[in-house]
Amino acid sequence: MKNHGNIRPKESNRWIKIVNNCIFCKIVKKEIPATIVYEDEHTLAFMDIGPIVKGHVLVIPKTHYDPLTETPDEIVAQLHTVAKRIAQAQIDGLGADGVNIMQNNGAAAGQEVPHIHVHVIPRFTDDGHHWNWAAKKYDDFEEMAELAEKMLSSFHL
């Protein structure tokens, strides 16, 4: 598990550089400004400066973790508990008609900052943003079953 927030001497200089240059870690350390929406001992939520829709919030752990698959379950749970509360605040406070809650994991998935974070995006009927998720098709149910089996055989609790 990579916990880049509590770097030990045996960890590489590469990871130290990642944490020292992480924009989210700099926000946590108050080295750069952010508009904070929520903060507790382990979690920080702030306005995204490049929002998909106005009111877009990022929820991060105060300790540097990445990727999702190496982040402790309790941290992932805390991020989503806060995301749920932010979503309700967007509905109640901003009048959002719906909310997208997303976590992009890895560059291929669109992750730009290598510090686990959850996007909480208020949605309005007329906000003009549309996800372009073109649905793909499986050749047959057998192909689907084979892929499911590959995942299940690697599943860890």
Q: What is the mean pLDDT of the chain?
A: 89
Residue 35 in any domain: the answer is yes
- Examine residue 9 and say whether the peptide bond preceding it is cis (omega within 30 degrees of 0): no
Catalogue the active-site residues.
Answer: 117
What ranges in the chain are assigned the alpha helix state H? Answer: 13-21, 23-28, 73-94, 141-153
In a domain? residue 143? no
CA distance 86 to 111: 21
Range of the domain at 73: 13-131
Question: Of 139, 143, 131, whose CA–CA distance to 98 is shortest?
Answer: 131
- Residue 124, SS3 per DSSP: coil
Contact between residue 86 and residue 45 where contact means Cβ atoms under 8 Å apart: yes
Give the count of domains, the chain: 1
Q: Is residue 74 part of a domain?
A: yes
In a domain, 157, yes or no: no
Paired residues of 100 in beta bridges = 121
Q: Answer yes or no: is 6 within a domain.
A: no
User: Domain with 28 in it: what CATH number?
Assistant: 3.30.428.10
- Burial (Cβ within 10 Å: 0-12, 13-18, ≥19) of residue 24: buried
- The torsion angles phi and psi of 72, rounded to 5 degrees, stand at -55, 145
pTM over 0.75: yes
- Measured distance CA(101)–CA(86) in Å, rounded: 10
* Nearest residue to 82 via CA among 50, 39, 124: 39
Q: Flag whether 108 is in a domain.
A: yes
Q: Is 89 inside any structural domain? A: yes
Q: Within 13 Å, how many C-alpha atoms sit on residue 89's CB side?
A: 14
Q: Is residue 104 part of a domain?
A: yes
Query: pLDDT of 29-66, one tens digit each?
Result: 999 999 999 999 999 999 999 999 999 999 999 999 98
Dump pLDDT digits (tens) for 139-149: 999 999 999 99
Work out the average pLDDT over 6-32.
73
